[in-house]
Structures are given as structure tokens and as C-alpha cells.
Amino acid sequence: MSHFKRLSIVLLACLASACASLNTTPSPPAPSAGKGMVAAANPLAVEAGVKVLARGGSAVDAAVAVQAVLGLVEPQSSGLGGGAFMTYYDAKTRKVTAYNGRETAPAAATPALFLDEATGKPLPFPVAVLSGRSTGVPGAIAMLSLAQSQHGKLAWNTLFGDAEKLADQGFSVSPRLAYMIQGRFPQTSAPDVVAYFTKPDGARYVAGDTLKNPAYAASVRKIAAEGPKAILQGPIAEAIVARLHQGDRPSAMTLADLAAYKPKAGPATCRTFRVYLVCTPPAPSGGPALLEGLAILEHTDVAAHPNDVQGWYLFAQASRLMYADRDRYMGDPDFVDVPTAGLLDPAYAASRAALINPDMAGPAPVPGKPKGAGVRAPDATLEPGGTSHMVIVDAEGNAVSMTTTVESIFGNGRMVGGFFLNNQLTDFSFSPTEKDGVAAANAVAGGKRPRSSMAPAVVLDKDRRFVAAVGSPGGSAILAYNLKALVALLDWKLPIDQAIALPNLIARGDVYASEPAKFPPGVVEGLEAKGVKLSKGGGEDSGLHGIVMTPTGLVGAADPRREGVAKAP
């Protein structure tokens, strides 16, 4: 395993160990009142979405409102300056559409973007993330605008009222945001972060303090009036370019890069799992990798081992195979050939599952050779935590599963118009080639979208009726978090709150990062006897949200590891 991958897991574990105590009581299932439901990472954002649903708004309308508030009250995770992937289910047509709001690299970006000019070696992550080079053209608002134009019921300019009011009048700093403000991350020492989160008396904001952001209020007013061009053109765009051109290693981003941004929409990538159909966005999202993980597990008897030693063992070994393939082959399909069909071919999944020794874990698995796979170099991408997820179902049964991000904590630490700019380009491989010169699938290129682990999922039954929607933030661990939730929900038949609260286990290469204290008695010891030694320390910081359809209506839940809630109008 590369230095970058090890560091990614360490960062996730360190972040989680400090944050796990913020919210340790699982949120009880939220009953549906027949008008839909919102599950998201902050109660203020959920309330904004619920108000939209109560006004007769669609799931996408509510998503716009939720994102606008999340960018204010949870700026460490997502915002107006970030990107997103959305999986949308239309209850009338029973079609699933994938929306791609992933950021793009400036046209002038090269594969050497994150190489030290003097040594030719990859830059240290803290240096790269704080540079202007780390920021991609933001796409979340443009993506939401596209989806809302197709599936919205309310006027766009009516969806930002809560965000504007909270920014103008102030909101209460949450414990999680307070921890990030006080935390030891590269961005917390960035000048814009220090200025924003420092009170007049020189102290940093703490939980319970009221924080106002009039610049953010002005930005959302402008977005409400003008749509995404408010960010991609005009004064805010000019400010973005100017801010990214400051300091060492400035960005090559231009106003033309911003103006040229286009979100994407198309059919979701869907595959059967047992009696279900699971749908995610295609590459460069993590969706195909998640589907491969499910496909591998379908060739095991994991369903017969709910939350026991063998069940977690099979989960871990399938995860290792999933990550090995994903790390080698996934990238932006507009620039590299991604062998999605080969990776998801049932025969290939069976061949990968056959590599699992049922009794004892072996060395780290190597990537397979699915049909359509070219020669690719080992990857060197670092994906630290950050990001947020929301699930929304409206009164008509339409559903949104959306993962949204500015990448790391407070993005690259630079602020424009009251919001933080992303550091999404650090999701590219820092090393564009291997020693033999073979190109990495996730190497930097102008106009390219970096590979993502975000994999918002929608689950349907055999008649394409809504069953569930789930998703999580968490860097590269997103795939393991989502896979766990889906296995627990669909195979182990657990209620959504219990499925989300189960221990996390991120098995990648030779590392088994986990939450040992949360497993049932005997599981940790049983896994170790099978060669799976779980890492000690704090819990991994997932932020799963989910909504399921039950015989009595919708039920939603939020991850007890964060501050989210699920609520019906």
C-alpha cells in the first residue's frame, strides 16, 4: 500500500477518534407523515428541506435548500464552492438518473500539477491542499440547477430563504463545527479560516456561539436570483480566480474555465443484487466500485452470517478485492477507458469471489483483469475525510441520494463570498505515472474530473419501486461505509438505524481500519484468528444517512457518529 493510502486511513481514524464523542446516541427511526422525509447532516439543514416539502416542493427542491444551509452551518464538509453527485429516482417513470456535479481541473492543468518542481516528487499533502492548485471549478450549484430545472416544482429563487436568514441573523455553532475550528488540520491555520472563525476578542468560536456570515447571505441571494452563473461568471467568479492566483503554487484557473463548466446528467449505473436493483452514478464516482463489492458478496453466503465473525470476514475480503480493482482502473471516462462492464460482469465477480479463502485471510489482493481493462499504473491518490450526504423522498415518492463535498476540512482554506473553495483536485493521483512510465487512470489532465469515492445509492425492487436510498461521506472509506449499510439492510435485514450504526470496517490492502469496541462479543477475536487484525483506536467517521420504505411508510435514520437527523414534514 502506498504512503498516500496509508495516510488517508490514518487521517480518517484520527478525525473520527476526536469526533466520535460528539454524538454517540443512535438517532431513532423517524416515522413518515406521508409527505416525504429528509435525512441530512445538520438539523438546521434538515429543517430547511422539510419546509420545502411541506410547501409542496419536490425532493430536488428540498435538496437545493438543504445544500444551501449545509454550506453555511457545516462548511468543513460541503458548500457553494464544492461539487456533488446525485442519484435521482422518478417515482412516475421509475427511471433513475445520475447527476454529475464533480469539479473539473483548469484547462491548463498538467499531470505534474502536484509534483515538486525541484525534486519531481509528489508534494506533501498539506502543501498541495493549501495551494491555489488544489481547487477545481465548482459544480454543486450548477448540478442542482440542472436537476431542479428538470424535477423541481417550486421556483428556484424561493429555495434559499433559510440559508439567507441564518447567514444574516446568525446560527449556533455545532459541536462538530467547533471541533473542526479548533482542530489541527492544515486548513485551520489558513488566513481565511482564522479570520472567519476568530471572534473580536481573539478567541476562536466554540459550540453554542452565534456566527453570522453576511457575505454568504449576499452570495445565496445572488444565486437565488441568477442561478449557477452567479458563481461561474461575474464578480464572484472574478474573486475566485483572484484568490486562487495568490500565494505559492497559484492555480491556472481562468474565468473561461469557470464559464465553461457544465454538469452532466444521464442514466444511472444499475445492477441487480439478490432480488434488488441498486443504482449509483457512473465513473468517476465510486458507484461502480460499490456495485462490484455487492457483486462479489453475492457469490458468498454473507447473508447467512448477520453481524458475526464469518459475515464480517467475508465483508472484509470482498472489500479488499473491490478496492484493489477500484484503485487501479477508476478515473474520468471522458479521458480514460474505465472497464465498468467488465468489472460488473457476473462471471468476473464470481472469479473475484473465488479468491476469498473462507478460513484465513491472505496477502493484499492484486487487481484483477476484467474485460476491457488496459494497462494501468498503481494509484497514488489521497482522499482524506470531509464531505456530506443527504437523502430526501418527497410526497410523490421521488427520491434524492446526494453526496456533496469541498473535499478536505474547509476545502483549501480559502474563502470567497462567504464560502470556502474546494481542494478537489487533490483527489487526483499525485503521481501521474509509475517508474515504468505507465499512466495512472486518475492522473491530472486539463478539464478532467478527479476520481471520487462518492457513491449515492438508490435501491429498487424487481418492479423498480423505491426500496431505500443511502449514502455517506468519508473519503475513500465511503465505499466501505455504503457497502456495510447495504449489506446490513438488504442481506442482514436490519432496520435502517441499526444498519447505519453497525461498526465500520475499512479493509483495503493489508490494513483493516475499524471500530473494534463496537463489534459483538467474540467478533474481534474471531476475526484475528482468521488473519484479520482490526486496527485499534477511534472509530471511523462515517456520516451515513438513509431512508427506507416499510409496510407502514418511510423510515429514516442518521449516523450516530455525526450530528444528522431524519425528519418528516
Which tens digit of pLDDT belongs to each residue from 302-333? 999 999 999 999 999 999 999 999 999 999 99
DSSP character string of 175-238: HHHHHHHHS--GGGGSHHHHHHTB-TTSPBP-TT-EE--HHHHHHHHHHHHHTTHHHHSSHHHH
Strand order in the sheet with 545-550: 30-31, 553-558, 545-550, 466-471, 457-460, 276-280, 269-273
**Angle formed by the axes of helices 59-73 and 161-169, nearest 10°:** 20
Helices (H), 282-427: 287-297, 309-329, 340-343, 346-353
Calculate the average pLDDT of the chain. Answer: 92
Note the pLDDT of residue 440. 83
> Across-strand partners of 85?
100, 403
> 455 — phi, psi (to 5°)?
-145, 65
**Which three-class secondary structure state does DSSP give residue 518?**
helix
* pTM of the complete model: 0.93
- Is residue 1's pLDDT more than 50? no
Amino acid letter, residue 433: T
Q: Where residue 439 falls among pLDDT bands split at 50, 70, 90?
A: confident
User: Is 378's pLDDT higher than 90?
Assistant: no
Q: Cell numbers 466500485 label which residue?
A: 289
Residue whose entry in the numeric block shows the C-alpha cell 486518475: 442
pLDDT of residue 23: 42
d(CA 272, CA 223): 39
Catalytically annotated residues: 387
The CA dihedral of 65, 178, 41, 318, to the nearest 10 degrees, is 140
Task: Domains for the chain: give ranges and CATH numbers.
Answer: 3-266+388-567 (3.60.20.40)
pLDDT tens for residues 64-114?
999 999 999 999 999 999 999 999 999 999 999 999 999 999 999 999 999
Q: How confident is the model at residue 478 (pLDDT cuts 50, 70, 90)?
A: very high
- C-alpha Rg value of the chain to the nearest Å: 22
